[in-house]
Structure 1
Amino acid sequence: MKRRDLLMFAGLAALAGCGGPGTGGKGNAGSVRFVNRLRVPPLLEPAVAADGTKRFSLTMQAGRAELLPGRPTTTWGFNGAFLGPTVRATRGDRVAMRVRNQLREPSTVHWHGMRLPAAMDGGPHQMIEPGGVWSPHWTVDQPAATSWYHPHLHGSTARHVYRGLAGLFLVDDPATAALGLPATYGVDDVPLVLQDKIIDGNGALREDPRPTWGLIGDQILVNGVYDPFFEVTTTLVRLRILNGSTARMYHVEFSDRRRFHVIGTDAGLLAAPVTVDRVQLSPGERLEILVEFAPRDQVVLRSVGGDNGLDEGDHDLLKFVAAGLLAPRPAVPARLAAAPGIEVPAGARERRFRLSGSDEINGREMAMNRIDEVVPAGAREIWHIENTVYAHNFHIHEVAFRVLDIDGEQPPAYLRGPKDTVFVPGKSTVRLAVQFGHHTDPTTPYMYHCHILRHEDKGMMGQFVIVEPGTEASVARTLPTHHHHG
């Protein structure tokens, strides 16, 4: 073990049990009053070109937001002071994004969960300089899902996301519209972006990372709001929950332990709803759930502590307050996605990835000019993610995958849907059935990495390209050091 990792363990031990501000140890359960109305991120309206292309404009900018009442905080956001609007498109749409960087430093915008060409992916190679504009475009071709967008600047992703650069990207699919799922945005179809912050007495965002995990705080925001409540007006509500934190993991349940229905994972809907009373989300993961309410219900959504190191403390998140009369909604459908699950053929290629410390995959730190893996277009493979140390997770750009097993055991039923990010417990191995897309580019890579953003920034990331089948052996494994698209 490297000396710096030993020092991290020592630092983690020193913090254990310390409930001081920003350590993530004490939680806020019982201390919040739910006095602030939940803000729902606005939908970003596109300009529609003559050929039908939907043109969306996003501006990365600095601003000031009252994350805690009466304490203005310097923050970053898209088209505003903090967070960003929700982008929404339908399968088959041609979309064109115009991303302007009005910050004083470079950044990027990655479309997390989108199936699109590598040059449009927004990874660290697609840099946007201060004052610059980036204009990616693609055709949306994937099932309905809750995706999101955030910076992916190598070495600074955690800081940029933590300051507020994040937003949702919802994909609709005509094939699922007939299911009758709640679909009125902000009323019975409600996004919940969960983030933790360290905010001092003056209202400033503290950015002193913990030794192993990075930025973990005890002030939990939902859609940028602390202490929020949401007024329920329908008998059934669809919640799209994003863990937008840089490191914190959530174990989400209702205070009365009511059961609810998981209908979707990162990359799309499950085959059928799964009824549970608690779900977990590691950084970058999304879940769609359906919750039933009765008139005058009052119940708190909360996160209970765990023993993974990055999930300490019990936290109250959001209070639901139901009206005296609720508009009826259709019952929870018995079946959801018509698409078959991700299967791999006999004899499929298997790849192995070993996570060690907080900065290496297969014994190497990320190098911008090194191609680690070459994958033929349309491949279906098995990836083994072996974690030799404390908790990590794993995100693969462009793909959808199914979790085959965790240390030989099937995952919980609600996590068997299509995903792109998975929690990898300490000293465990997760096997994935990975489905790759058909956009080929031998010189522009996609990423795979730990989505605990401090780990990603330190080098726990690799690069792969997707190429025409049969050309894998001819692909150069080294990129020019200046390789990026501005």
Structure 2
Amino acid sequence: MASIPRSALRRTALWLSIFLVAGLLAAVGLTGWAFARAKVSTAGAPFTDELAIPPLATGRLDPDGTRVFDLDMRSGTRRFLPGQDTPTWGFNGDHLGPTLRAHRGERVRVDIGNRLPEASTVHWHGMHLPASADGGPHQMIAPGATWSPEWTVDQPAATLWYHPHPHGATESHVRRGLAGMFLVDDDIATGLPGSYGVDDLPLIVQDVKFRGGSFDNGRGAFADTGILGDRTMVNGTLAPYRTVDDELVRLRLLNAASARIFTFGFAGDRTFDLIGTDGGLLERPIPADRIRLSPGERAEIVVRMRPAERLTLRALPTDLGDGFWNRRFSGGDDTFDVLELRAAETLRATTVVPPRLAPPELPRAEDSVRERTMELRFPNINGAPMSMDRVDATVERGTTETWIVRNSDGMAHNFHVHDVQFAVAAVDDRPPPPALRGRKDTVLLPPGGSMRLVLRFDGPADPRHPYMYHCHLLWHEDQGMMGQFTVVEPGTRVPSAPMPSGHEH
């Protein structure tokens, strides 16, 4: 067999080197192009559309005093872009849903019908209620079926919300438009702006992107948090403005995005009063110029307007300590102009935000009888993916526990617990900042971060129906970052698996 001349080997090696270098340069170029394109900003874009305010539903009263709401899950279309109809899902309409409102101590029932082409659920995020009414993945509603959960509202005034929770499909159901607010009132919160849609504005903030007339639900290159949009909308309104006639305006901020972490502030660094977090009002208002909300978190703020001014609510870049690369591809470098408040020439005079708001109703660390550790590492919690037929933790009714939650990953996660409002006892072994000292059900953990959460489980006990805990970055949740716990009477023997459930009637 004839040998290959050395000159031919040299030429082959030269061409291989050229191809390798060219390939490397192309890869570097594509990576640089993707890095540059990943940064998004809508700062300075005009506000062109009047902010929609979700209709307020107060329900109807049954003869026994139960307040009854009606919700239908439907498919439809909404014209977000000129001349293009976008396929959507919504409650009682084509996109999003009404704001439900009830008073502490009331008995409520929600009659839910599913007109969608697939099964879904309705979860009451932040609500303290029986596990069988929680609306997690065990309470699926089949197409054409109905479900009527019923419970007594037993918690302080708060801004809560509702959304689907089907295992493995929550992200797609929420992004299509299934979300709405649920406001709880009580007799304590007085002296605050409280005229719904006037000086008390619900703001359901989401990020979206379009491909043609449809929502684009593709994850971008290197996006390990989930789907990130290139623009924001509020209450289903793109580029929204709202004319206000009052000096003090209360904004109920809900991050209803599936993956994006927002740091809200006002253009010009206008200060505001933070008056409430996930589970209700703080003991005292906190002056601030920034509030960071991860998916599922809420905050109530009050801002003072000046006559005839235009004030922009902005989502600012967010450093989560995950390095320049992950920061760019997780949306940390992005800036969005979210909403413009347009003050009237003459404003109704308001005095001040009350110096005291509501007494704290928080579990106490000194009452804790047990510690548990929750390690977050994609796509698992404590090394195990979610399993519908496995109960991961059992807690006794009436007890208080401390959960140590650690993010052992290189990306951001957050942590949501169903049914309870917990106290943040420590952040990275230090006292929590003021914005985390109220009632919380969802918290953000940067890479390497840890929190000590104090939770009290007041029941009711139900050994066969579990509650969830999970990362509320919805793609992470869908991939298995979720676990289950049941609440039982002290000394109760626990079933090995939850009760299968669903709703076919």
1:477 to 496, 500, 503: 496
Match of 2:480 in 1: 459
CA offsets, 1:287-315, max 9 Å, x none? 00011111112111001112333333111
More helix by share: 2
Q: 2-side partners of 1:347 and 1:55: how far apart?
A: 37
Match of 1:121 in 2: 134
* Equivalent position amino acid for 2:366 in 1: P
2:267 to 241, 255, 268: 255
Report the Cα offset of residue 204 of structure 1: 1.1
Q: 2-side partners of 1:185 and 1:94: how far apart?
A: 22
User: Is 1:204 the counterpart of 2:214 in the alignment?
Assistant: yes
Match of 1:269 in 2: 281
Other structure's SS at 1:325 match: strand
Match of 2:450 in 1: 429
Structure 1 pair 180–484 and aligned structure 2 pair: CA distance change class (3 A) = same
CA offsets, 1:140-199, max 9 Å, x none? 1100000000000000000000000000000001122xx211110000110111100111
Q: Which structure 1 segments of 5+ residues have no match?
A: 1-9
Match of 2:41 in 1: 27
Q: 1-side partners of 2:241 and 2:224: how far apart?
A: 33
Other structure's SS at 2:207 match: strand
2:181 to 157, 161, 168: 168
1:38 to 39, 44, 51: 51
Match of 2:345 in 1: 324
* Equivalent position amino acid for 1:161 in 2: V
User: Is 1:380 the counterpart of 2:400 in the alignment?
Assistant: yes
Q: 1-side partners of 2:452 and 2:185: how far apart?
A: 29
Other structure's SS at 1:256 match: helix
1:65 to 66, 78, 87: 78
Q: 1-side partners of 2:319 and 2:196: how far apart?
A: 35
| Contact 2:146/2:503 (8 A) holds in 1 | no
CA offsets, 1:14-44, max 9 Å, x none? 5895354xx5x312112x2101000111112
User: Is 1:447 the counterpart of 2:468 in the alignment?
Assistant: yes
Other structure's SS at 1:348 match: strand
| Contact 1:180/1:330 (8 A) holds in 2 | no
Match of 1:238 in 2: 250
Over aligned residues, Cα RMSD in angstroms? 1.7
Structure 1 pair 84–394 and aligned structure 2 pair: CA distance change class (3 A) = same
Other structure's SS at 2:425 match: strand
CA offsets, 1:426-480, max 9 Å, x none? 1111111112222110010000000000010010000000011232xx2123236
Q: Which structure 2 segments of 5+ residues have no match?
A: 1-26, 321-326
* Equivalent position amino acid for 2:42 in 1: N
* Equivalent position amino acid for 2:186 in 1: D
Match of 1:192 in 2: 203
Match of 2:68 in 1: 55
- Mean alpha-carbon deviation: is it higher for 117-126 or for 427-436? 427-436
- Mean alpha-carbon deviation: is it higher for 259-268 or for 344-353? 344-353
Match of 1:298 in 2: 310
Q: 2-side partners of 1:124 and 1:18: how far apart?
A: 37
Q: 2-side partners of 1:479 and 1:302: how far apart?
A: 44
Q: 1-side partners of 2:286 and 2:465: how far apart?
A: 38
Match of 2:319 in 1: 307
Taking structure 2 as the reference length, what is the TM-score of the superposition?
0.89
| Contact 1:19/1:26 (8 A) holds in 2 | no
Structure 1 pair 172–291 and aligned structure 2 pair: CA distance change class (3 A) = same
Match of 1:278 in 2: 290
User: Is 1:362 the counterpart of 2:382 in the alignment?
Assistant: yes
Match of 1:408 in 2: 429
Q: 1-side partners of 2:439 and 2:197: how far apart?
A: 25
CA offsets, 1:18-77, max 9 Å, x none? 354xx5x312112x2101000111112412111111110001111111223443211111
| Contact 1:374/1:464 (8 A) holds in 2 | yes
1:399 to 420, 440, 446: 420
CA offsets, 1:71-124, max 9 Å, x none? 321111101111000000000111110111101000000000100000000000
How many residue pairs match? The answer is: 464
Match of 2:149 in 1: 136
Q: 2-side partners of 1:186 and 1:162: how far apart?
A: 24
Match of 1:3 in 2: none
* Equivalent position amino acid for 2:117 in 1: R
Q: 2-side partners of 1:405 and 1:169: how far apart?
A: 29
CA offsets, 1:191-242, max 9 Å, x none? 1111001112x22111112441121111200111111101110010111000
| Contact 2:274/2:302 (8 A) holds in 1 | yes
| Contact 1:342/1:418 (8 A) holds in 2 | no
Other structure's SS at 2:252 match: strand
1:95 to 108, 128, 135: 108
CA offsets, 1:332-351, max 9 Å, x none? 11011123433122562111
Other structure's SS at 1:231 match: strand
Report the Cα offset of residue 391 of structure 1: 0.4
| Contact 1:262/1:274 (8 A) holds in 2 | yes
Give percent identity, aligned residues only.
48
1:74 to 87, 94, 118: 87
Q: 2-side partners of 1:424 and 1:155: how far apart?
A: 22
| Contact 1:398/1:437 (8 A) holds in 2 | no
